[in-house]
């Protein structure tokens, strides 16, 4: 089962991708995480774009995904979180899937109001030691300044989660990524590729339940 999760910054792509990966034993391919973990010249170049809320050049991200999709852990299926983001990336993905004799099963679009997106993204932070995620309003550590999971006392925020950079990321989502949704909607058919709109404003478990329902309906005819 191969899935694309679409949605603007803060829609919950990473959160749902992790849950889906665990539940269905799928590989989670999050391009944002891959770029944040990249080292050397690629990592340095990516950081310049990411800090400004701009997209990293297609050629870099396409090479990373092409390599990743052919790895063994993708044999049972994968979830793309943050890819494709441009028309060129979408067309290149088609070519990669064709070359690998794979196909897409679901394109899932998470829909969330702008105000909520900004609130979610600008308030998030994580434990610098174990990566556990928190939020200024919605999920504070039980004891202030101490990670619930590992007891660490250092926390970090993503460089690109500043209000002005989030606004830029949203603008880029609308201008460069949202237009490719029509590309997948046009491709969708009930028995091959399924396109689903999901209400991402609901609680995390409820969003997961909606996604599971889409998968269940298609798999059971
Ligand atoms: P990336 O890391 O992909 O960031 P993004 O798309 O902006 O998305 P986020 O990670 O901010 O949000 P999300 O939708 O995953 O939400 P999350 O689950 O974290 O990309 C970063 C940068 O990398 C890009 O700007 C670009 O520069 C570059 N890049 C990446 N891919 C690229 C590509 N293909 N091409 C070119 N450049 C690329 O949730 C957010 C918060 O909300 C969390 O605190 C979470 O706990 C909370 N939350 C989630 N769901 C809910 C819910 N239902 N209710 C309440 N809170 C919730």
- Could you read off the pLDDT of 10-68 as tens digits, one per residue? 999 999 999 999 999 999 999 999 999 998 999 999 999 999 999 999 999 999 999 99
Q: Which residue has 């191969």 as its token pair? A: 2
Q: Which of 28, 68, 85, 120 is catalytic?
A: 85
Residue with CA at minimum distance from ligand 1 atom 23: 32
13 is catalytic: yes
85 is catalytic: yes
Ligand 1 neighbours by CB, cut-off 6 Å: 7, 9-15, 31-32, 35, 49-50, 53-56, 61, 82-83, 85, 89, 120-121, 124, 133, 135, 138, 160, 169, 200, 203-204, 207
What pLDDT score was predicted for residue 220?
63
Distance set, CA 35 to CA 5, 49, 63, 105 (Å): 18, 10, 12, 25
142 is catalytic: no
Q: Does residue 12 come out as left (phi exceeding 0), alpha (psi in the -120 to 50 range) or beta? A: left
Show the low-confidence residues of the chain (pLDDT under 70).
190-191, 218-221
Among 101, 107, 102, residue whose Cα is nearest residue 177: 107
How many CB atoms sit inside 10 A of residue 158's CB?
A: 17
- Cis amide prior to 9 (ω within 30 degrees): no
What pLDDT score was predicted for residue 218?
63
Q: Alpha-carbon distance 133 to 37, whole Å?
A: 17
Residue with CA at minimum distance from ligand 1 atom 25: 53
66 is catalytic: no
**Interaxial angle between packed helices 163-172 and 114-122, expressed in degrees from 0 to 180 and rounded to the nearest 10:** 130
Degrees to nearest 5, angle at CA 207 with 203 and 213: 145
What pLDDT score was predicted for residue 192?
85
What pLDDT score was predicted for residue 189?
76
Atom number, ligand 1, closest to the C-alpha of residue 52 = 27
């Amino acid at each position: 089962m191969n899935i694309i999760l679409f949605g603007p910054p803060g829609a919950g792509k990473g959160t749902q991708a992790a849950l889906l990966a665990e539940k269905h034993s799928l590989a989670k391919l999050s391009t944002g995480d891959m770029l944040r973990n990249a080292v050397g010249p690629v990592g340095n170049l990516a950081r310049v774009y990411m800090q400004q809320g701009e997209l990293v050049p297609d050629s870099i991200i396409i090479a990373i995904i092409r390599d990743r999709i052919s790895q063994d852990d993708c044999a049972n299926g994968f979830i793309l979180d943050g890819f494709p983001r441009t028309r060129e990336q979408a067309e290149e993905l088609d070519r990669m899937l064709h070359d690998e004799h794979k196909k897409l099963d679901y394109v899932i679009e998470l829909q969330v109001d702008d105000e909520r997106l900004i609130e979610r993204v600008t308030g998030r932070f994580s434990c610098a030691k174990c990566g556990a995620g928190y939020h200024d309003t919605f999920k504070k550590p039980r004891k202030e300044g101490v990670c619930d999971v590992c007891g660490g006392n250092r926390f970090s925020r993503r460089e690109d989660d500043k209000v002005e950079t989030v606004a830029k990321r949203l603008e880029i989502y609308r201008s460069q990524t949202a237009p490719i949704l029509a590309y997948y909607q046009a491709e969708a058919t009930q028995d091959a590729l399924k396109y689903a709109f999901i209400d991402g404003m609901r609680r995390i478990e409820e969003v997961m339940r909606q996604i599971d329902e889409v998968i269940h309906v298609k798999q059971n005819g």
